[in-house]
Amino acid sequence: MTTQNITKGIIELIRTAETTLPRDVITALKDARHNETGIAKRQLDTILSAIDLGKKTRRPVCQDTGTQTFFIEAGCDSPFLGSIHECIHTAVRHAIDDVPLRPNAVNPLTRKNETDQTQSLLTYWTMIDGDTITIHALPKGSGSENMSRLRMLEPWEGFDGIIDEVLEAVFAAGGRPCPPILVGVGIGGDAITALRLGKESLLRPVGTRHPDPRVATLENDLITKLNDTGIGPMGLGGKTTVLDVHVKTASCHPASLPVGIIIQCWAHRHATMTLSADGTWEVR
């Protein structure tokens, strides 16, 4: 019974992520509209209308309902540690019909659709203290994900090297990832970690800066430089190319400087579910 209720919660989590956009993203889009004119403004008007319609009709804003991606902070003392994995799979299976979601899982080599569409769902686990499990759903479309990249820089390349890499990635992406985009930059760790940090950084609210002032300055520099490219909404030109840039760092080997760049479309769909030890849940 409890696991059924948890599964219900996760379906609600997926539906919320797919059909509504977080308030901070909407605020950033409205600010952008205020700054733009002509075609760029028209793009943002259309975007904001689509967000309204998705929320009103509880339908996915974008037809690419993405790869179902979950970041899970699992409290070691939660009584649901043993069942949560299965609940996520069951929830996605139901959500395909319920929300609905587009069948997005294919075999990577034959390109045939998978019979079991839950096969492509992704879970990233972090064990934490306590008895609460927090699940962040971040369904991600391939238009933006295809533009992500990893570079293993020489350590001496430092800040300038990182800025060049991000600029190059965003410029190469152009209008493809549905700008205005969000950019998550993971710096440090190993190759895997850099990309994971980049994606995790997208969970931080839009408009907030990194607590380390040096990193915050890097974020601000990147925002200015990326908006100066003129790529603009949908690549049709304009002042707004990014809604935000988030950097997340980790210590790394002295001979390494991994940089993972994750590009996210304006439809930055994500939601969070908190599952308490008594089985109650909340989606926001």
Q: What does the binding site for other proteins look like in residue numbers (CB under 8 A)? A: 38-39, 42-43, 46-47, 49-50, 53-54, 57, 59-65, 100-104, 111, 113, 141, 143, 146, 171, 174-178, 230-231, 234-237, 265-267
Among residues 40 and 245, whose Cβ is nearest to other proteins?
40
Q: Residue 230: CB partners within 8 Å, gap ≥ 6? A: 237, 238, 239, 241
Rounded distance between C-alpha atoms, residue 117 and residue 120, angstroms: 7
Among residues 55 and 204, whose Cβ is nearest to other proteins?
55
Among residues 75 and 232, whose Cβ is nearest to other proteins?
232
Name the minimum Å distance from CB 36 to other proteins. 13
Distances (CA, A) of 162 to 39, 100, 175, 228: 32, 39, 22, 17
Name the minimum Å distance from CB 276 to other proteins. 33
Do the beta carbons of residue 103 and residue 117 sit within 8 Å? yes
**Nearest Cα residue to 249 out of 206, 185, 205, 181:** 185
Name the minimum Å distance from CB 141 to other proteins. 8
Q: Kindly tell me the number of DSSP H helices and DSSP E strands found in the chain.
A: 8, 9
Name the minimum Å distance from CB 220 to other proteins. 24
Among residues 184 and 188, whose Cβ is nearest to other proteins?
184
